[in-house]
Amino acid sequence: MIVGFDIGGTNARALLIDESTHTVIDRARASSAGEAPVVVSTLLRLVDDLVTRNETTVDAVGLGVAGLATRGGIVRYSPNLPDILEYPLGRELGAALDVPVAVANDASAATWAEAKLGSGRGADDFAFVGLGTGIGTGFVVDGRLVTGTNGFAGEAGHMVIEVSGPAHLTGQHGPWEYYASGSALGRQGREAAAAGRFDAAIALAGSVDAITGFHVARALAAGDDDAARVFAAFCRWVAVGCANLVMILDPARIVIGGGLSGIGHALADGVAAWMPELTLGSAHRPPVEIRMAELGDEAGALGAALLALDEV
């Protein structure tokens, strides 16, 4: 069996995966809070729980981590996991369990899961775009996950698309995720509401300030016209970054996942509608397919397990 982890700022999620069928046998989760040795203890306890409960053994462990994780398993930079920075998380866990450990960025891990088992199947070249609090991305080129020289590839959420734009919480000006993340959708909803053009969201949220991307999505699902306008403008921002990725990597397909994927196919369709206008030479190239991800919020842990499988 393989255990795949997705370690976020709040929780660590673990999946027990059958290495031949790639199916999820069991699940566990715990808080990811604490200093690095505490986090290691938490992960070991989750492995132990899964192993004991299922009367099995573990052959490898995969870690999907929110942040810049080196190929060697050291988390170099993670706004969400300040307590485990520069700590050899992969090595410590591998030593304690005496199994190989693969470590990757969480979005890259999710990308690999979609490549093998989800919406990326059949495409040798595709981009995964996870829209949540920020934007997490990953790329498959020629059937292989792009890791980069350090393991830091796939951070297109931090690609600048408006260099004279406002400062984002990362300190950058105008990165893609400032405009096209779930947080951005909430802000765009609040802006429309404050301008008197989104009463439905105020009714749902209770006040302008309480509006989040969730309320915009709900108003959209209810058929509200203002929500449709906010959403279409948001989809254009998503498409601006997608068009850049098309210029750079020429993927056959872009798979949209992350928290906003609850919106469903309207999101893929909304982005696809802008692509011809934003993609240079679109009259001369086959349209890039825009699809929703299939694996939901378990993609990161699942992909981490699949990456670990390559180490066995």
Alpha-carbon dihedral sign for residues 240, 111, 227, 209: negative
DSSP string, 33-50: -S-HHHHHHHHHHHHHHH
Backbone angles phi, psi at 104, to 5 degrees: -150, 160
Q: Any idea which residue has 């053994």 for tokens?
A: 57
The residue (of 2 and 288) whose beta carbon lies closer to a second copy is 288
Closer residue to a second copy (CB): 171 or 223: 171
Q: Can you tell me which of 244, 266, 276, 311 binds a second copy, judged by CB under 8 A?
A: 244
Please tell me whether residue 281 binds a second copy under the rule CB under 8 A: yes
Pick the stretch among 7-15, 16-24, 165-173, 194-202 that binds a second copy (CB under 8 A).
Answer: 165-173
Which residues have C-beta within 8 Å of that of residue 135, sequence separation ≥ 6? 129, 156, 157, 176, 177, 180, 181, 241, 258
Part of the chain binding a second copy (CB under 8 A), chosen from 10-18, 161-169, 210-218, 266-274: 161-169
Pick 194 or 248: Cβ nearer a second copy = 248
Q: Does 151 help bind a second copy (rule: CB under 8 A)?
A: yes
> Across the strands, what pairs with 167?
173
38-76: b (≥16 Cβ within 10 Å) or e? ebbebbeebbeebbeeeeeebbbbbbbbbbbbbeebbbe
Tokens of 121: 């199947």
End-to-end CA gap in the chain: 11
- Using the rule CB under 8 A, is 80 a contact of a second copy? no
The single residue among 248, 264, 265, 310 that binds a second copy, judged by CB under 8 A, is 248
In the set 32, 119, 147, 183, which binds a second copy (CB under 8 A)? 147
Q: Candidates 9-17, 202-210, 242-250, 267-275 — which segment interacts with a second copy by CB under 8 A?
A: 242-250
Of the candidate spans 149-157, 184-192, 205-213, 264-272, the one that interacts with a second copy by CB under 8 A turns out to be 149-157
Residue 112 engages a second copy in binding (rule: CB under 8 A):
no
Is 155 within 8 Å of 139 (Cβ atoms)? Answer: no
Binding site for a second copy (CB under 8 A): 68, 76-77, 85, 123-125, 137, 139, 141-142, 144, 146-156, 158-164, 170-172, 174-175, 240, 243-245, 247-252, 280-281, 283-286
